[in-house]
Chains A and B, each alone.
Chain A
Amino acid sequence: QQQVKQSPQSLIVQKGGISIINCAYENTAFDYFPWYQQFPGKGPALLIAIRPDVSEKKEGRFTISFNKSAKQFSLHIMDSQPGDSATYFCAARGYGGATNKLIFGTGTLLAVQP
């Protein structure tokens, strides 16, 4: 119930292509779904986030699509660039009053080839 399942584990995309990473969850109490980008040796950096009352959110080349009934959400990176090569984590927040902890997916290692 507290898990967030992420796929694929790794992804290779050509420069200019679309990168798509998928996540699924079980707990309907999750109320905030962020995506994080992590470069080696660095902490996760918030990329984009969505609330469950919205089906899509776009910020620049990054789009989250959210399907509440299927309990799935995905990250689309348009016009992928070599600088986007990083590990991407989806996450979900379980609203529990004083906690607000994030549950992370297992990560996707994205490599964008020039």
Chain B
Amino acid sequence: EPEVTQTPSHQVTQMGQEVILRCVPISNHLYFYWYRQILGQKVEFLVSFYNNEISEKSEIFDDQFSVERPDGSNFTLKIRSTKLEDSAMYFCASSPAWGYTFGSGTRLTVV
């Protein structure tokens, strides 16, 4: 069964540093997403990406965040200057039209 692959599985970074979280969505999917889950809380929408551009972003997705699909297979989330409150699990997901497949996530720890 096709999978969404995320790397790294765990990233520790110092506050103020930039991090890039990487995702390889399922190849024939059209929609790509990043979601965030703070420990013990619900999964929150960050951003959706369709047709090579952001189609919607949440209020969480401020100027420190950016997404790219640099080469037609990878989908990245960049956090420019990390804060302690950015510590969370970050999930990439992709979707054809119905149904979503989530990756296993990247646990980001900001110290």
Measured CB to CB, the residues of A under 8 A from B are 32, 34, 36, 41-46, 49, 89, 91, 96-107
Measured CB to CB, the residues of B under 8 A from A are 4, 6, 31, 33, 35, 41-45, 48, 50-51, 55-56, 91, 95, 97-105, 107
A41 to B103, CA, bound (A): 11
A45 to B102, CA, bound (A): 7
Which A residue sits closest to B104, measured CB to CB? A43
Given A89-B42, A104-B42, A107-B42, do A43 and B100 touch, yes or no (CB 8 Å)?
Answer: no
A55 to B51, CA, bound (A): 34
Does B42 contact A43, Cβ atoms closer than 8 Å? no
Q: From DSSP, what is the main secondary structure of chain B's interface residues?
A: strand
Which B residue sits closest to A42, measured CB to CB? B104
A32 to B51, CA, bound (A): 22
A41 to B40, CA, bound (A): 11
Does A46 contact B99, Cβ atoms closer than 8 Å? yes
Does B42 contact A106, Cβ atoms closer than 8 Å? yes
A97 to B55, CA, bound (A): 9
Partner of B105 from A42, A91, A96, A102 at Cβ < 8 Å: A42
Closest 4 CB pairs of A and B: A43-B102, A98-B55, A99-B56, A104-B43
Does A99 contact B55, Cβ atoms closer than 8 Å? yes
Does B48 contact A99, Cβ atoms closer than 8 Å? yes
* Max chain B C-beta neighbours (<10 A), residue from A36, A44, A45, A96: A44
How many whole Å from B93's CB to the nearest CB in chain A? 8
Given A42-B105, A43-B105, A44-B91, do A102 and B98 touch, yes or no (CB 8 Å)?
Answer: no
A101 to B43, CA, bound (A): 12
How many whole Å from B51's CB to the nearest CB in chain A? 7
Contacts of A44 in B (CB 8 A): 43, 91, 102
How many whole Å from B87's CB to the nearest CB in chain A? 15
Contacts of A36 in B (CB 8 A): 43, 102
Does A99 contact B50, Cβ atoms closer than 8 Å? yes
A110 to B44, CA, bound (A): 20
How many whole Å from A97's CB to the nearest CB in chain B? 8
